[in-house]
Amino acid sequence: MIFLKGGVSKSGSAAIKTHTGSVAGSIDIFKAAVRTCGGIFVDSLEDMLNIARLVNSSENVSSDILIITNSGGHGVLTTDAIDIQEMNEIQLPDRIKKSLLKILPKQSVPRNPIDLSGDADYKRYSDALETVKDLDCTKVVIVQSLPMVTCTDVARAVIKYKGTGVIGVVMGMDEDSASKLLDSASIPSFKFPEDAIKAIKYMTSRWTPDKLG
């Protein structure tokens, strides 16, 4: 379960009293109770909606992250987000690097983030996903809509690898259509990589309570 609580500030607590006549209570006690029952406490409505995308999806996520992108800049920003959230950007095995050399353009180095370059098309995304599909990690697939590929193109490629821990980050003219396509396949989609990484952090850091009996 996902929890969002109002009245965590002094002013917010006073507003609750005005609204319901109730006492807000200790936020620390509330957070402890949420954690004990295996829930997720979030800071904002935006976080709640982003986590709901993961909860409602078919994809299992872990704190070990692989980035696949057609934008080196977005790859760097995602790397920063992973570091800030204290998660792990995986190292690619040598066998995967060797296979990627056959897919990537000459200027790209086979490492994480996997930079498919700005001229990446549907086939290059699909080939990269095929290469890494068996890696035990969360695959954050980022696309910036460019002349060679659309967000919808990449969404179609991602759907072929449903169930392998894939998450879409779609940015560009057709991002809404691509999001709907991914959502219809129960694959989570986000508009910004930082939102995806933060949602993964929430999901993977939650405490699982021991079963009773």
Q: Retrieve residue 96's tokens.
A: 């995967």
Q: Do 161 and 54 touch, CB atoms closer than 8 A? A: no
DSSP characters for 3-70? E--S--SHHHHHHHHHHHS-----HHHHHHHHHHTT-EE-SSHHHHHHHHHHHTSS----SEEEEEES
pLDDT per residue as tens digits for the range 53-63: 998 898 999 99
Alpha-carbon distance of 68 to 205, in angstroms, equals: 23
One pLDDT digit (tens) per residue for the chain, 213 residues: 666 666 554 544 455 445 455 544 566 766 666 666 666 777 778 888 888 899 889 899 999 999 999 999 999 999 999 999 999 999 999 999 999 999 999 989 999 999 999 999 999 999 999 999 999 999 999 999 999 999 999 999 999 999 999 999 999 999 999 999 999 999 999 999 999 999 999 889 876 655 444
pLDDT per residue as tens digits for the range 152-167: 999 999 999 999 999 9
Enumerate the β-bridge partners of residue 3.
41
Q: Do 195 and 43 touch, CB atoms closer than 8 A? A: no
